[in-house]
């Protein structure tokens, strides 16, 4: 059943003006008729799908500021929703033990399954949209053929309920998290366990891969968010994220930020380059537990749903907001008089405040650009049009925006034909007004037995 409806009792658009410090107020608010538990952005970032205690799946159009489709099929709370990467499907899981696959355009039910013996806590699509995974309170995770609805494998290794599932960006692994306090990764060809991530001391509630596939973040009932480097499977951050359970974690598309939502009615954003909190989106904004958080595909916004029935969308902190948070923390620590520091020495040190600010600013710039360089993902570049007059080939990056490569007309055709084989070398980044920008990167293009070098930079 499909019905065009508006379930918003209020919709408030809050305009933001220029500011020196990050403004934690939402730029958009939607109010549903009941508690909201889960959300996901559409691949194009224009819509958000939500589910909750209305027992319905609702699709919100952000630009139109309204619900455009309400999908009926569940008979109890909807606790999991996901768009497929190709944008054609929506999967949902509920307390009614049902997994439903919907047509994302028409809202029609493609199939409904009750293969789980308890409620379906999470769902996830593989990057090619061909596989669909479901996590259940019955202690299992199922992997389905998206098109046919056939169960391909059932994972039963966890010792407690399975709370979360996520595919790696390259589709080679499936991540599962559980009430047994572990996060496990499975080979999607053999379905054999590849590794276990330990560290949480209570039930794991959410686990996600970073977009570059190099990190995994977990949130748990131990009130912590943890981040592991998958190169050596070492825990690199333990964020004392919340004063209650951490219900949701999400990486930004740039791999630079981590958002967390918790039972303490807060959303926090963490700077992974610095290891610091950059934003606390709480105050009097949320009046109930924050159940789910997600960054928009372009990384410019972060959305959250909570049990007060609100979907709220916030502006993502810019690189200058991150720098301001870093500087404030470091200068606050630096301004404190040491226990064994003479008053005279302390006053002399304070006179060097401007110099110290410059030192901290340089420290931020280096750490931020180095981390960005280490975590950059060059796999999703899209070749755009060629400007023969300017001898520039335009290239689009989901994270860096529009880039330009200087290519002569004689080499343009070769560049186009071999673009998928390009290799990157000696990249350099700078701190821009809003984001980290590419200063330059050398591109090596295989051409027969030779290699041609080009230079790519940001286009202002």
CATH of domain 2-319: 2.130.10.10
Query: Where in the chain are all domains bearing CATH 2.130.10.10?
Result: 2-319
pLDDT at 8: 30
Give pLDDT, residue 15.
Answer: 24
Q: Cα–Cα distance between 110 and 105 in angstroms, integer?
A: 12
The number of beta carbons lying within 10 Å of the beta carbon of residue 379 is 10
Q: Which two tokens stand for residue 94?
A: 């509920």
The string of pLDDT tens digits covering residues 44-94 is 999 999 999 999 999 999 999 899 999 999 999 999 999 999 999 999 999
Neighbours of 201 (CB within 10 A): 11
What's the confidence (pLDDT) of residue 283?
A: 64
What per-residue confidence (pLDDT) applies to 377?
77
Task: List the chain residues with pLDDT less than 70.
Answer: 1-23, 283, 447-449
Residue 205 CB partners (closer than 8 Å, separation 6+): 163, 164, 177, 219, 220, 221, 245, 246, 247, 248
Q: What are phi and psi of 455, to 5 degrees?
A: -120, 130
Helix (H) or strand (E) holding 347: helix 343-350
How far, CA to CA in Å, does 329 sit from each of 181, 274, 336?
32, 11, 11
Tens digit of each residue's pLDDT (9 = 90 or more) over 325-354: 999 999 999 999 999 999 999 999 999 999
Please name the residues in contact with 90: beta carbons below 8 A apart, sequence gap of 6 or more: 49, 57, 59, 71, 81, 82, 83, 84, 101, 102, 103, 104
Sheet holding 78-83, edge to edge: 78-83, 89-94, 99-103, 109-113
Task: Give yes or no for a contact between 174 and 165, defined as CB atoms under 8 angstroms apart.
Answer: yes
Q: What is the pTM of this model?
A: 0.90
**Contact (CB, 8 A) for 273 and 294:** no
């Amino acid at each position: 059943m499909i019905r065009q409806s508006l379930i918003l009792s209020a919709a408030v658009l809050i305009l933001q003006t220029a500011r020196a410090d990050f403004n934690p107020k939402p730029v958009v608010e939607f109010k549903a008729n009941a508690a909201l538990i889960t959300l996901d952005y559409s691949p194009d970032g224009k819509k958000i799908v939500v589910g909750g205690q209305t027992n319905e799946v609702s699709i919100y159009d952000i630009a139109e500021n309204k619900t455009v489709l309400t999908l009926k099929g569940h008979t109890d709370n909807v606790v999991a929703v996901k768009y497929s990467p190709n944008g054609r499907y929506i999967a949902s899981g509920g307390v009614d033990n049902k997994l439903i696959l919907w047509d994302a355009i028409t809202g029609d039910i493609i199939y409904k399954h009750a293969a789980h013996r308890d409620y379906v806590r999470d769902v996830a699509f593989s990057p090619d949209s061909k596989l669909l995974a479901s996590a259940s309170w019955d202690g299992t995770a199922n992997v389905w053929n998206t098109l046919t609805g056939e169960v391909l494998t059932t994972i039963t290794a966890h010792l407690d309920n399975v709370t979360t599932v996520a595919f790696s960006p390259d589709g080679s692994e499936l991540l599962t998290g559980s009430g047994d306090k572990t996060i496990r990764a499975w080979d999607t060809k053999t379905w054999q366990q590849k590794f276990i991530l330990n560290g949480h001391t209570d039930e794991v509630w959410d686990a996600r891969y970073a977009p570059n596939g190099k990190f995994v973040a977990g949130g748990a009932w131990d009130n912590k968010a943890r981040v592991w480097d998958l190169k050596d499977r070492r825990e690199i951050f333990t964020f004392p994220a919340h004063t209650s359970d951490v219900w949701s974690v999400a990486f930004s598309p740039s791999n630079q930020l981590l958002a967390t939502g918790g039972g303490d009615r807060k959303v926090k954003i963490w700077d992974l380059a610095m290891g610091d909190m950059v934003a606390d989106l709480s105050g009097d904004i949320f009046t109930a537990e924050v159940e789910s958080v997600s960054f928009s595909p372009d990384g410019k916004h972060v959305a959250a749903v909570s049990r007060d029935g609100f979907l709220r969308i916030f502006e993502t902190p810019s690189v200058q907001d991150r720098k301001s948070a870093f500087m404030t923390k470091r200068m606050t620590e630096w301004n404190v008089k040491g226990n064994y520091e003479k008053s005279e020495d302390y006053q002399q040190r304070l006179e060097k405040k401007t110099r110290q600010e410059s030192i901290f600013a340089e420290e931020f710039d280096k750490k931020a650009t180095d981390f960005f360089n280490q975590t950059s993902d060059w796999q999703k570049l899209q070749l755009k049009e060629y400007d023969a007059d300017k001898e520039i080939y335009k290239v689009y990056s989901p994270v860096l925006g529009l880039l330009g490569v200087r290519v002569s007309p004689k080499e343009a055709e070769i560049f186009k034909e071999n673009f998928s084989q390009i290799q990157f070398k000696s990249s350099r980044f700078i701190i821009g007004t809003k984001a980290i920008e590419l200063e330059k990167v050398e591109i090596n293009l295989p051409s027969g037995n030779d290699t041609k070098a080009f230079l790519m930079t940001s286009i202002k």
